[in-house]
Amino acid sequence: MARVLLLAVALAALALFVVMQGSQRIALMAPGLLDDVVVQQWAHVVRGMLAMAMVAVILGHICIGSIEMEGAFEGMRDGEVECNWARKHRGVWVEEELGRARRMVVRDAPEVGAG
């Protein structure tokens, strides 16, 4: 349930960001639509604040993904993580991979008594 809520909030934030950026872009590209200079100035201010917020989100994402989560940077660098780390952070994927490995072992194992 928490993941669904997180996904919904992220999608809503993304939609709001796209709408705001799109409207700002249109307003700034067609200054004839905004006859008032004050409105144009506020459009620039709002666009600048949105850009700074986006940079903050990106930097936060990088920080959480590399520094805050122990083992994540080594996994990105080496391409491998410990099994316990993978179970904790990517449990469904680990179970899928272990199931695939078990099926391959059973399929490739020689039959007992065949000979």
Task: Please state, rounded to an integer, the average pLDDT across all residues of the chain.
Answer: 79
Q: What integer pLDDT is reported at residue 47 of this predicted model?
A: 84
pLDDT of 70 strictly over 90: no
The pLDDT, as a whole number, for residue 96 is 93
Residue 52 domain-assigned (yes or no): yes
Supply the pTM of this predicted model: 0.50
* Inside any domain, residue 43: yes
In a domain, 115, yes or no: no
pLDDT tens per residue, range 25-59: 666 666 666 667 787 788 788 888 988 998 998 89
Calpha distance 52→60 (Å, rounded): 12
Residue 31 maps to a domain: yes
Instruction: Tell me what pLDDT residue 95 has.
Output: 93
Strands (E), 1-115: none
* Structural domains in the chain (count): 1
Identify the pLDDT of residue 27: 63
Q: Quick check: 92 pLDDT over 60? A: yes
Tell me how far apart the alpha carbons of residues 51 and 47 are, in angstroms, rounded to a whole number: 6
Q: How far apart are CA 10 and CA 8, in angstroms?
A: 5
> Residue type for 33, please?
L
Structure tokens of 26? Answer: 């249109």
45 in a structural domain: yes
28 within a domain of the structure (yes/no): yes
